[in-house]
A and B are shown apart, each in its own frame.
Chain A
Amino acid sequence: MRFVDEYRSGKVARELSHQIEKLLEPGREYKLMEVCGGHTHTIYKHGVENLLPPGVDLIHGPGCPVCVIPMGRVDDAIAIAERDRVIFTTFGDMMRVPGGNGCLLEAKARGADVRMVYSPLDALRIARENPDREVVFFAIGFETTTPSTALTLLRARAEGIRNFFVFANHVTIIPAIRAILDSPDLRLDGFIGPGHVSTVIGTGPYRFIARDHGKPLVVAGFEPLDVLQAAFMVMLQLAEGRCEVENQYSRVVREGGNPRALEAIAETMELRSTFEWRGLGFISQSALKLREEFGDWDAEVRYDIPGVRVADPKACQCGEVLKGVIKPWECKVFGTACTPEKPIGTCMVSSEGACAAYYNYGRFSRRLETLTT
C-alpha cells in the first residue's frame, strides 16, 4: 500500500491521527516509548507529537548509541588515543562526547592522533597503510553497527593485519528495554520498536515484552508516517486488548533478522557479564566484548586500560531522559548550561539524542510545524 507520493501526504497523516483519536478510552493517558534515537529525531523534526491526540504521549527511550557511552569509557578511549604510536579512529559522533577528562576532540587538539572514519573498514585501511603504527577503532553502537565491526575483525584476521585493534563498546538493545520495564518510576503502555536494529535481530527477541510484560511493540520505519502508523498499530492493540509484536517496517525488516550478521557477531564477540550505561548504571549482559580467539585484535587485551568510573555530572539528568522519566526541557540545565555547542550530557551531543533533537527542532515543532508543512 505504499506509494512514494501518497506516503508523506498530510491527508494520510490526518486520517491516521483521526483513527488514533477514535481508539482512545476517555480519561486514559497513554505513554508509548520509541526506543530508537532515529525515531526521536523524526518525531521532533516533523512534529509527529503534534499529530497525536491529547492523552497520547511519546516517551523517548535509550536507543541512541552515542548517548549511552559512560564518561569513564570516554576517558579510557582518550587514554588509548594519547599513547605513543597509536592512531585512534572513531565515528565523528563520538568526537565531542564529554568524559571526565574532556572529549576526544580536545585530546586531538592536545596532540593525540585521533581520526574520524566513516566505517571500521576505513580504520582497517589506515592500519594497512601505517604498518609501523597501532590503529585502534572505537567500536560503538547497537546491533545495527556490531556486524560491521565483526566483519572488519574477520577481514583483519584473514589478512593477518596485526596492528589493528578494536576497543569494543557495542551494546545490545534487549537488556536496556528490560531495564526500563523493570524500572519502578515509569509506566508505559507500549513500544515503537527500532527499525534498523531489527533488520539484524529480527522481531523474535521482543516477544518477552508482549508475553511477560503484557505490552505491545510495533517495529517501525523512520519516516514520520511510519512512526504515526506504528503508534496507531500499538493503540489498536491496546483498544482490542491484544499485546503482540508487530512489524510496520516489513518492507525492510524480516522476522528472522539477518542470519549472516548474527553469525558474524557470534563468531567474534560474546556477552560481557555487565556494562555501565550512561545514566542507567550497570546492566548485566548488556554489551559485547571480543572473544578470546580475537585477543590479538582486542584493545582491552593490548593496553592497560584505566577503567575508572566517573560519575555523571551532578547537573546532568540524562539518565532520566534516557529512561523517559523526564522530557529534555525539564532538565534544569537544558538550553542554558547545556547546548549542542557545549554539551554537559550525551543526549545533547548526537543528533539522535533526545535533548539535541528537541533543542534543534522541538521548540518549533511544539508550536507550529506539522508533517504537512
Chain B
Amino acid sequence: MCLGIPGQIVEVVDLGHHIAKVDVSGVRRNVNIGLLTGDDAVGVGDWVLIHVGFAMSKIDEAEATATREFLERLGDPYEQELAELSASSIE
C-alpha cells in the first residue's frame, strides 16, 4: 500500500465525482483525481502517481517511465500492487 505507482489518464469517467480511468502497466482501472486541483488539475494524457486509488501528484512522462522501471525491478511488491489494483473497482 505504500508504493506510489505511475499511471496515464486515458478517460475522464465522472467529472462530478473526480473519477478518471488510468492505465498502469496495461491495467486499466478507475481512480480518484480530486486531490489534483488548480495548477495540478489533470486530464486525458497526463501522468499521475497513484496511491490507494487516488492520484497524489502530477508527474511528467520521463518521471513516470523512470518510476515504472524502478518498480518493475522491485518485482514482487509491484506485482502485488498491480494485482490489488486489478481487483479494484472504484465508481
8 Å CB contact of B35 from A38, A122, A260: A260
Q: Are B52 and A258 in contact (CB under 8 A)?
A: no
8 Å CB contact of A91 from B1, B32, B40, B90: B1
User: A289 on the interface (CB 8 Å rule)?
Assistant: no
Q: Are A351 and B77 in contact (CB under 8 A)?
A: yes
Assembled-state Cα–Cα distance A261/B40 (Å): 12
Q: Which residues of A contact B32 (CB under 8 A)?
A: 119, 121, 148, 151
Given known pairs A41-B77, A351-B76, the reply for A196 and B51 (CB within 8 Å) is: yes
Q: Are A120 and B57 in contact (CB under 8 A)?
A: no
A58-97 at interface with B (beta carbon < 8 Å): 64-66, 91-93
Assembled-state Cα–Cα distance A151/B55 (Å): 12
Assembled-state Cα–Cα distance A207/B26 (Å): 41
8 Å CB contact of B56 from A8, A37, A117, A258: A258
Nearest-CB residue, chain B, relative to A66: B1
User: A22 on the interface (CB 8 Å rule)?
Assistant: no
Nearest-CB residue, chain B, relative to A117: B88
Nearest-CB residue, chain A, relative to B81: A118
Q: Which residues of B contact A148 (CB under 8 A)?
A: 32, 51-54
Assembled-state Cα–Cα distance A251/B66 (Å): 12
User: A110 on the interface (CB 8 Å rule)?
Assistant: no
User: B15 on the interface (CB 8 Å rule)?
Assistant: no
User: A222 on the interface (CB 8 Å rule)?
Assistant: yes
User: B22 on the interface (CB 8 Å rule)?
Assistant: no
B59-75 at interface with A (beta carbon < 8 Å): 59-60, 62-63, 65-67, 69-70, 74
Assembled-state Cα–Cα distance A85/B80 (Å): 29
Query: Total interface residues on B, using CB and 8 Å?
Result: 40
Q: Are B70 and A223 in contact (CB under 8 A)?
A: yes
B8-23 at interface with A (beta carbon < 8 Å): 17
Assembled-state Cα–Cα distance A265/B76 (Å): 31
8 Å CB contact of A65 from B2, B35, B53, B87: B2
Q: Are A125 and B91 in contact (CB under 8 A)?
A: yes
User: A45 on the interface (CB 8 Å rule)?
Assistant: yes
Assembled-state Cα–Cα distance A222/B66 (Å): 11
Smallest Cβ distance from B20 to chain A, in angstroms? 13
Q: Which of A139-147, A177-185, A297-305 contacts B (4 or more CB under 8 A)?
A: A139-147
Smallest Cβ distance from B50 to chain A, in angstroms? 9
Q: Are A45 and B74 in contact (CB under 8 A)?
A: yes
Nearest-CB residue, chain B, relative to A159: B17
Given known pairs A260-B34, A351-B76, the reply for A120 and B56 (CB within 8 Å) is: no
Assembled-state Cα–Cα distance A120/B91 (Å): 11
Smallest Cβ distance from A127 to chain B, in angstroms? 11
The residue among A125, A141, A151 with the most chain B CB atoms within 10 A of its own CB is A151
8 Å CB contact of A251 from B51, B54, B63, B77: B63
Q: Which residues of A contact B (CB under 8 A)?
A: 2-4, 7-8, 37-38, 41, 45, 64-66, 91-93, 116-122, 125, 128, 141, 144-145, 147-148, 151, 155, 195-196, 199-200, 222-223, 251-252, 258, 260-261, 264, 350-352
Knowing that A64-B2, A117-B88, A119-B53 touch, tell me 20 more A-B residue pairs with CB under 8 angstroms: A4-B69, A7-B66, A38-B2, A38-B3, A45-B74, A92-B80, A116-B87, A122-B88, A125-B90, A144-B51, A144-B56, A147-B35, A148-B51, A148-B52, A151-B35, A196-B56, A200-B56, A258-B35, A260-B35, A351-B77
